[in-house]
Structure 1
Amino acid sequence: MNEEIRNLLATLTSVTIAVTSASCNTATNENNTYEKVISRDGTAIAFEKKGSGPPLIFITGAICHRKFQPIIDDTKILSKAFTVYNYDRRGRGDSGDTETYSVQSEIEDIEALIDSAGVSAYIYGHSSGAILALEAALKIPSKIKKIYIYDPPYVSNEKEYQEYRTTKEKIKTLLVEGKNSKAISEFLVSIGMPKIFTFFLPLTPGWKRTVQLAPTLLYDITLTENQAPVKKLAEIKVPICIAYGEESPNELKIVSNLLNQTIQSSELQSFPKQDHMVDTKILLPKMIQYFNP
């Protein structure tokens, strides 16, 4: 994996864990009221609604769920213009899971949320959540009004693909052996975190919750391990805005531009002084302008 991406992802994961550690008790002690929808395979998907505008399905990325403080904060901002469906992707938080993962199952989860919201909805996908949004555009286009994605992280070349595959197999082996903590550490080291740092992570208050998400690492790797399937994505007809941060790794900018060239119904936006951890307060006005709800 490119060194710049490794450093960025390591920083992102570290910040996520740090923020979760600091805010974990606050999030946990809040009134844990939520709703559930039943996906096509019978899996229960937990979600919360916030806001009173048109429905927006918020699809988050790796090592995230609806009670992570950064996700709570983003939902609060987005709810100023939308009714935000902040949900636990399968295998996370209060949602169920199945023994075998498939991208199709995650699309069916999104479909169940849209059906709960009404006839159709807007979608916002961040990072690997952006890849799910693209898949949804292909599978359930009639149920989606428009899509907004930020920093879709397909791999950019064959070398990165091979490295990602190696990481996936290592993590898979560790999970089979029940070594979830080591699986998380392996992932963090593979994306650039110095190994010595991983020895201190189990001491953080949020580590136990993070370790519970270890099996879902394979889900996000499955979503992002390949180069963009341009032939398939060219079939997308749903209006979609592809956004990236000008401070994000160059590879993510390349992927975003490639997708914009591939998808005829798309437009491209860039955000100065923003990296992968985009400030949602800056993003929201652009999203409102694009969706024009």
Structure 2
Amino acid sequence: MEMTTVSRDGTRIAYERSGRGPAVVLVSGAMSTGATMAPLAAELSGGFDVTVYDRRGRGESGDAAPYSVEREIEDLAALIEAVGGEASLYGMSSGGALVLRAAASGLPLRRAAVYEVPYAMDDAAARAAAEYTERLGEALGQGRRGDAVELFLRHSGLGEDMIRGARQSPMWAGMESVAPSLAYDDAVLGDGRVPRSEIAGITVPLLVLAGGASDAWWHEAARAVAEAAPDGRYGTVDRQTHMVEPGVLAPVLAEFLAG
């Protein structure tokens, strides 16, 4: 990260900018940093001034206790001020939940877009989310970062063989280093259900996307979010899953963000 801004509570937030045009800030999901969004930023930089950043508690950004979702919204406010005072937001997965909450808070936005926010769409999924929250809190409270990462991977649907393989991979140490931020992503998802009343307060155009090859519940969640927003629209990205390809996603986002 080449630049920094300071959030309201004094936390240093690291970011990078590229391209020219209307300002867009990209918000990553769990277990990721701004570098995760760099390929998408490269695709969009031909027509937009794109910012990627390390969310607090990961990468080159700082952190401060106690955590609250409001602090992450203030981080976005500081970034938007740094890039000109107004921007559009795009959020991936749980980063999309942060974008929705930031948009509802009244930040100076042009537009907002999210991709596959993992909301619970039935009682069983909501119970699983509540159990995950409890067990994650226990693991992190006891300093068991590796167990916290395992919980997240299992909650995300990864098989046991893949989890064991991940533990043996060179990436595991990096995953453990950002494990405390898993609680932050869990917090922005609230109780796991679509926050319809909060989304109803979003006054800017909102695009809610799901992958054309993703399971049906991703589409159900996306439709629910779009329907809750005053100016929401639902769309699909052809032949994509949760691991959406930047080169396929970028044209869909660019058309919407250009207005």
Task: Look up the match of 1:223.
Answer: 188
Task: Look up the match of 1:125.
Answer: 91
Task: Look up the match of 1:237.
Answer: 203
Higher helix share: 1
Relative to structure 1, is the Cα distance of residues 287 and 228 closer, same or farther in structure 2, using a 3 angstrom cutoff? same
Task: Look up the match of 2:76.
Answer: 110
Instruction: Select which of 132, 136, 141 maps to 1:176.
Output: 141
Relative to structure 1, is the Cα distance of residues 257 and 194 closer, same or farther in structure 2, using a 3 angstrom cutoff? closer
* CA deviation string 1:232-286 (max 9, x = no partner): 2112211111111121221111111112222121222212211112222222222
| Paired letter, 2:57 | G
Task: Look up the match of 1:60.
Answer: 28
* Aligned residue runs from structure 1 range 1-293, under 5 A: 33-68=1-36, 71-141=37-107, 143-224=108-189, 225-292=191-258
For 1:189 and 1:284, the matched residues in 2 are separated by 29
For 2:16 and 2:185, the matched residues in 1 are separated by 22
Q: Report the Cα offset of residue 84 of structure 1.
A: 1.2
Q: Please report the RMSD computed on the Cα atoms of aligned residues, expressed in angstroms.
A: 1.7
For 2:234 and 2:163, the matched residues in 1 are separated by 37
| Paired letter, 1:84 | V
Taking structure 2 as the reference length, what is the TM-score of the superposition?
0.93
For 1:272 and 1:67, the matched residues in 2 are separated by 25
User: Quick one: percent identity of the two aligned structures?
Assistant: 30
Partner SS state of residue 98, structure 1: coil
For 1:109 and 1:115, the matched residues in 2 are separated by 10
Q: Report the Cα offset of residue 291 of structure 1.
A: 2.2
* CA deviation string 1:43-65 (max 9, x = no partner): 11111111122211000111110
Q: Report the Cα offset of residue 195 of structure 1.
A: 3.0
How many residues align? The count is 258
Q: Report the Cα offset of residue 196 of structure 1.
A: 4.3
Check the 8 A contact 2:44/2:254 in 1, yes or no.
no
| Paired letter, 1:168 | T
For 2:85 and 2:121, the matched residues in 1 are separated by 36
Q: Report the Cα offset of residue 161 of structure 1.
A: 1.5
| Paired letter, 1:112 | A
Check the 8 A contact 1:55/1:85 in 2, yes or no.
yes
Q: Once superposed, which parts of structure 1, at least 4 consecutive aligned residues long, lie more than 4 Å away? A: none
Moved more, 84-93 or 181-190: 181-190
For 1:271 and 1:190, the matched residues in 2 are separated by 24
* CA deviation string 1:103-143 (max 9, x = no partner): 111110000000000120111111111111111111134x1
Check the 8 A contact 1:111/1:140 in 2, yes or no.
no
Q: Report the Cα offset of residue 85 of structure 1.
A: 0.8
